Structure 1
């Protein structure tokens, strides 16, 4: 389990983000201060994203609509689904504190299988905004263990309780299609190729040839299925890879190279667009 934290100066105040990894799950705690804040581009994650705040109202554009997230509510976004924050202002008027939990689908599938006895499918959460006071108490108790000396057994037990409660109270079963539609399959091929070749300067023509389509047709179905263009998907995938590499302790130069950015300044520019801070601050030890 790794614990890291960083700070960055903004108009004589400081944003603070702390990050941890526990059994392959990424946890982040954000404390943002009043000041300038750029818009976060639309993006997606390979993990499910669970967010919670006690003092901040938020919101997402997700699944074709806007979803306000009042303070005290959870936001729950599926893996691979495009979203963006609804915040339009470029200046934060008040302090914002929130927690984020990123869970790989395989991990949730394990919990879902154990609870339901099902051998196929993933948990499906129809409502992206959840109000659950019991789960909120358990969630905050789990995150509180990272603020004090706590055994790994206690942390992992509390994590298990949270995931169990999340699925038992709010999940439905949605069986993964055995034979995907042709266009969906082609889009998945392109996504897999981009993930496997993040460091390469791939062209749209190359991707179109890979799946036997014209570049225009590929761009159209990719945008329709994923919710963003192939180049946007590649950028956010590189940022996600950079976060993973930073947790491994690599230098910024090596992270930029291994995540597919042309240089360190390119990494910094794109990283800050998505996380509001530079990668150099992201994992600075206390």
Structure 2
């Protein structure tokens, strides 16, 4: 039996990353540890160096990129529901924690996360893994939450950019045109390009590529072949899929086939 809190959560353990990461985002949190090497992180237009034994935290939707040098790291991507549920258990209200620091030099946090990651990768019993997860994330929330926003993000009327984003998610595996998106948002193409960049921090093309890469990664970890994963995520050209994947994650999608380093927790 596995820890239910972590259902469909992706884990990755990379031993030697060298190269640049292009601008991208995640719908989930990113919480990771730097074990060795150096990572120059460009996050929310600020550059920070991540050194050995530091923790790296990215809130959902935050655009980031960077440059790695002999970087050894472990990441996982917990969803908003998980962090919001834990925040509610701690403080009595269902909110999404927003973390202030991006790179955190805290030996206690690092130790707790290492213990949790080891539990996942050695397939310890669900109760042990969940206990270590709560132990690590509750410490992170208690010490580094900047603010908490209402969750879920319910609103009676969806704004124009939200409708465009929904269109992208629904038709991700098809050819999406600027006309499709501007019509979904009910604005001109000129206004759409400006509003979308302001809303997401990315151009529509960058956003679509990032979403397709995330989807393809999930499909590969679920057992799909690389060729079919790229195709089903919306890439008609396999070489384009491979190049785009490497720009976002810093490694080839073939690396995902090293099952000992990657886990899609079910």
Superposition TM-score, scaled by structure 1 size? 0.81
Q: 1:174 to 1:142 in 2, by over 3 A?
A: closer
Which residue in 1 is equivalent to 2:80?
A: 105
Which residue in 2 is equivalent to 1:122?
A: 96
Counterpart pick for 2:54 among 49, 58, 73: 73
The answer to whether the Cα contact below 8 Å between 1:58 and 1:71 also exists between their aligned partners in 2 is no
Counterpart pick for 1:26 among 2, 6, 10: 10
CA distance in 1, matches of 2:134, 2:8: 13
Structure 1 unaligned regions, length at least 5: 3-20
Counterpart pick for 2:119 among 127, 145, 156: 145
Which residue in 2 is equivalent to 1:276?
A: 250
Counterpart pick for 2:43 among 58, 62, 80: 62
CA distance in 1, matches of 2:119, 2:176: 44
Q: 1:80 to 1:277 in 2, by over 3 A?
A: same
Displacement of 1:24 in angstroms is: 2.6
Q: 1:285 to 1:173 in 2, by over 3 A?
A: closer
Structure 2 unaligned regions, length at least 5: 261-266
Q: 1:110 to 1:222 in 2, by over 3 A?
A: same
CA distance in 1, matches of 2:172, 2:123: 38
Q: 1:146 to 1:126 in 2, by over 3 A?
A: closer
Deviant stretches of 4+, over 4 Å = 177-180
Superposition TM-score, scaled by structure 2 size? 0.86
Which residue in 2 is equivalent to 1:192?
A: 166
- SS of residue paired to 2:30: strand
**Cα RMSD over matched residues?**
2.5
Displacement of 1:126 in angstroms is: 1.7
1:126-184 Cα shifts (integer Å, max 9, x gaps)? 2212222211111111222345463232122211211111111211433247669x9x9
The answer to whether the Cα contact below 8 Å between 1:253 and 1:263 also exists between their aligned partners in 2 is no
CA distance in 2, matches of 1:227, 1:114: 32
Displacement of 1:70 in angstroms is: 3.1
The answer to whether the Cα contact below 8 Å between 2:196 and 2:204 also exists between their aligned partners in 1 is yes
Residue-pair matches, total: 256
Structure number with higher relative contact order (C-alpha < 8 Å, ≥ 6 residues apart): 2
Q: 1:175 to 1:222 in 2, by over 3 A?
A: same
Displacement of 1:216 in angstroms is: 1.4
CA distance in 1, matches of 2:36, 2:229: 34
